[in-house]
Amino acid sequence: MTKKLRKAVLPVAGLGTRFLPATKATAKEMLPVVDKPLIQYAVEEARAAGIDQFCMVTGRGKTALVEHFDVAYELEATLRERNKTDALESLRSTQTEPGSMVTVRQQVPLGLGHAIWCARAFIGDDPFAILLPDDLVLADQPCLAQLADAYYETGGNIVAVTEVPPEQTNRYGILKTGRDDGRLVEVKGLVEKPAPKDAPSNLSIIGRYILMPEVIKYLARMERGAGNEVQLTDGMAHLIGEQPFHGLRYQGRRFDCGDKVGFLEAQIAFALKRPDLADAVHTFLKHYV
C-alpha cells in the first residue's frame, strides 16, 4: 500500500550570491514574485498536494523565513483597527498550524544531498517531497500536486522533468530513460550535470521530487560528486532497481528564479495571471515592447 505523502523538505540555506546586493541581508527565498515571497509559493504548492508537515533546511541569516510563517500579532491588530480586511486576509496563507513547521541547520554548504541528509530526523521512515523555491512553476494544477497524483499511481520515487536544450545538460541532473508513454518515463539512470556529449538524454530534473526515505542511507555516505558536493542525484541513483522510479512530464511553465532573467520573467507571467493586475501590466508592457 502506498503511504500517504505528508512531509516536505525545503532546502533554503543558499547564500543567493547571484542576487547581491539585494540578498546581502535578506534571504533570497524572501524575494517576492508580485506580492508573495518565493518560499510562500513553495509552501502553498506543497499544501495543495496534501502536505501538512514542513522542514526548512536553513543557514545563518535565514530567520526571516521562519518569521514569515509565524503569527504577527501587532500587525494583525493594527490592520483590524484600521479596518484593512483585505490586507488582513492576505496574511492567513502565511500561517501554519502550530508544530507543523520545523527547521534544521546546514552549517556547511556541502550540496543539495547534504541538505536533505540534514533533515533525516524529520523524514524518518516516511515518503517526502522536496521543493526548491528557486524553481517556480505556473500551472493550472500545482506541479507538486501533479507529482503526488503520479506517486499514488506508481508508488516509489518520482521527479518532475522537462526537456532542455542539449547544450544545457551540464546545468542539470539528467535522466537515462526506459519506457516512456509521453507523460511518465521510467528512470533507468541519473547523471548530475553531464557534458552534452555524455548526456544520456535531454530530460532534466527540476526542483520537485517525491522520494522514499531509503535515499538517506545513501546520502549518509557523504560521497562527493559533481562540484565536490554531496549530490542528491547520486543518492537517488542508488534507488534505481531497488524501488519504482519515474519522471513526470508536468504540465505548466517553470521559471528559474535563481537567475535574474528568469526571476523578471516570472514577475510578468504571474502578474498577467492576476485579474487585478493583468490589464495594467498589459498597458505598461506596450511602452517597452
- pLDDT tens track for 21-74: 988 888 899 999 999 999 999 999 999 999 999 999 998 888 889 899 888 889
Q: Which pLDDT score, from 0 to 100, does residue 87 have? A: 87
Greatest alpha-carbon span in the chain: 64
- Over range 72-88, report the average pLDDT: 89
- Measured CA distances, 267 to 133, 166, 229, 277 (Å): 15, 27, 32, 11
Q: Which sequence spans correspond to the domains of the chain?
A: 7-285
The b/e string for 64-103 (b: 16+ C-beta within 10 A; e otherwise) is ebeebbeeeeeeeeebeeeeeeeebeeeeebebeeeebeb
pLDDT in tens, 99-153: 899 999 998 888 999 999 999 999 999 999 999 999 999 999 999 999 999 999 9
Residue 91 clears pLDDT 90, i.e. is over it? no
Q: How confident is the model at residue 262 (pLDDT cuts 50, 70, 90)?
A: very high
Q: How confident is the model at residue 254 (pLDDT cuts 50, 70, 90)?
A: very high
- Please list, in sequence order, all residues whose beta carbon lies within 8 angstroms of the beta carbon of residue 247, skipping any fewer than 6 positions away: 158, 159, 160, 161, 175, 177, 184, 185, 187, 203, 205
- Over range 70-94, report the average pLDDT: 88
Radius of gyration for the alpha carbons in the chain, expressed in angstroms and rounded: 19
Q: Which pLDDT score, from 0 to 100, does residue 212 have? A: 97
Strand 53-58 relative to strand 101-105: parallel, antiparallel, unpaired? parallel
pLDDT in tens, 24-39: 888 899 999 999 999 9
Q: Which pLDDT score, from 0 to 100, does residue 216 have? A: 97
Mean pLDDT, the chain, rounded, equals 92
Domain 7-285: CATH architecture, name and number where available: Alpha-Beta Complex (3.90)
pTM for this structure? 0.93
Q: How confident is the model at residue 17 (pLDDT cuts 50, 70, 90)?
A: confident
Backbone phi, then psi, for 110, in 5-degree steps?
A: -105, 15
* Structural contact between residues 216 and 119, judged by C-beta atoms closer than 8 angstroms: no
All 3 cell numbers of residue 80?
483590524
